[in-house]
Structure 1
Amino acid sequence: MNRLSGKVIVVAGGGGIGSELARRYAAEGASIVLGDIDAAAAQTVVDEIVAAGGIATATELDGGDEASIYAIVDLACATYGGLDGFHANYASFADGAIAASVLDMPMDVYDEVMRVNARGHLLCTRAALPKMIERGGGVMLYTSSGSAYVPMPIRPAYAMSKSAIHALMRTVAIKHGPDGIRANVIAPGIIMHEKLEANASPGLKEWAFGRNAVKARLGRPADIAATGAMLMSDEGAYITGQVLSIDGGSSMRQ
């Protein structure tokens, strides 16, 4: 549990998965900056990390705003002396909220999803890479979704934005590998964090179990955090340019 000792990691986006990422990275010895649009929620998680003996700072982050993204990177460098890892873990679900299809999705909703999910992740990359290259290398991680692979009658903007993140990751991996940068994507399936558990219908759980090869349980934020910790650490030193689907076997791709 000390694989990330001495590393500085930004977790961009809290919530069910992001908060667990921050906890796990801190438990593994990293100094964490956790940013979220809900700064108070991020501070609650950071208080928990510090109470457990970890090192962490909270800040407000608007994942669609260039100045906000650069500010969280500058905060990490100013507070902890540099940057070794950046995990972009936020998303807009605007088209899902209206169950829009290709033909009836308002273009302003499409633009908002792409602004946050595709453009925002590009901005994270542009802000983080120079600082990590200065340190001699580092890790870019992106949280995507199984929606990038699964045919969906609704939420086309969300699915398109997640596919765009995969393309971004591959570009970073091949272009900046010589600079010591590794880049990967974690694509979760259905992850039963606290908020989703409280609002999930029995039908959703049955649907998820029906798709999964693992039948013992549905995924949890800790499953994503465990994979993230490995990829951020030297144990993942030979893994780059990959999409790791953490989904209980609901997708089985070669």
Structure 2
Amino acid sequence: MPDAATSTNPIDSLQGKLALITGCSGGIGRATALALAQRGCSIAVHYNSAKDAADTLVSQLTGTHGVKAVAFQADMSNYDAVRKLHAQVVQEIGHPQILFNNAGLTNSVIGPQGDIQSVSVEEFEATWRVNTGSSYLLTQLCLPNMVENKYGRVVFCSSVAAGTGGVIGPHYASSKSALHGLLHWIAMRHAKDNVTCNAVAPALITGTTMMANPSPELQARIPVGRFGRPEEISTVVEMLVSNSYMTNKAIISILTVG
């Protein structure tokens, strides 16, 4: 049987793989955990403050889907906490073979017509720390084992704002666009190691913290006339981690107008 690096099957089996998903207690993270569990993945469920939601998800994953799942708490704005998260996952359930860097935050929302003076450099850096820095660090921690074992799937949760400026503000948009440069470097550097690196860049997705109370004006900017759903993003992530040939891509979920 050919190994993963030489397989001609475009859709690789995920059975028995371990996926670490940050921001996993709700929205896109939760939907992705359920999708990957259906493919036989064990799940390291990261959460920050939503312990009850994370525990409920773990129960669903282990009970309904019959996979191994454990919840891990970490504040992604604290790099030492990120290091501890990785160490705990490795100690309790093993090295992640799939990493979905999904955790993120918006901080102030100033909108497309906002004043850049409203976002201090301190808030700018705080946004980058969670959205970009922690994803970089966690990827850095997971990569050595992926490279050693010639198998790894890294996915960043970017945003349509990375290419358009978006509806949050410059701090958020720039933190997401930085992920694209990061994935391009990783993808090129580690393609020979059977480590792929991609991003999904959603637009306006309901059922997430960011889109808890979407306005009709935002919906009007979407060509299909409705907001997206977390499950529609999880199918894209599933495709990215199950395809050993697709790398160096940022998949835009849907374009907004203006």
* Shorter-chain TM-score above 0.5: yes
Pair 197,86 (structure 1): closer, same or farther in 2 beyond 3 Å: closer
Aligned counterpart in structure 1 of residue 246 of structure 2, from 231, 239, 244: 239
Q: CA deviation at 1:243?
A: 0.4
Distance 1:142 1:197 in 2: 19
Distance 1:119 1:198 in 2: 25
1:222 aligns with 2:231: yes
Partner of residue 24, structure 1: 35
Partner of residue 119, structure 2: 105
Distance 1:148 1:24 in 2: 26
Distance 1:2 1:55 in 2: 20
Give the unaligned 5+ runs of structure 1: none
**Post-superposition CA distance 1:132-187 (Å, at most 9, x none):** 22322201100000001114586101101001011111111111222221100000
Q: CA deviation at 1:194?
A: 6.2
Structure ranking higher in helix proportion:
1
AA at the equivalent of 2:181: A
Partner of residue 91, structure 1: 104
Summarize the alignment of residues 27-106 of structure 1 with structure 2, pairs less than 5 Å apart. Answer: 27-40=38-51, 41-52=53-64, 53-96=66-109, 101-106=115-120
Pair 226,98 (structure 1): closer, same or farther in 2 beyond 3 Å: closer
Give the unaligned 5+ runs of structure 2: 1-10
Aligned counterpart in structure 2 of residue 160 of structure 1, from 167, 174, 183: 174
Q: The residue matched to 1:239 in structure 2 has which SS?
A: coil
Q: The residue matched to 2:221 in structure 1 has which SS?
A: helix
Aligned counterpart in structure 2 of residue 9 of structure 1, from 6, 19, 40: 19
Pair 198,160 (structure 1): closer, same or farther in 2 beyond 3 Å: closer
Deviates more, 1:164-173 or 1:39-48: 39-48
Pair 103,230 (structure 1): closer, same or farther in 2 beyond 3 Å: same
State how many pairs are aligned. Answer: 243
Distance 2:115 2:195 in 1: 37
Q: The residue matched to 1:96 in structure 2 has which SS?
A: coil
Deviates more, 1:192-201 or 1:2-11: 192-201
Aligned counterpart in structure 1 of residue 191 of structure 2, from 159, 177, 198: 177
Identity, in percent, stands at 29
Distance 1:98 1:172 in 2: 31
Distance 1:132 1:108 in 2: 34
What RMSD over aligned residues (CA atoms) do the two structures have, in Å?
2.4
Contact 2:206 2:229 in 1 (8 A): yes
Q: CA deviation at 1:108?
A: 1.3
Deviates more, 1:160-169 or 1:129-138: 129-138
TM-score by length of 1: 0.86
Partner of residue 132, structure 1: 146
Q: The residue matched to 2:175 in structure 1 has which SS?
A: helix
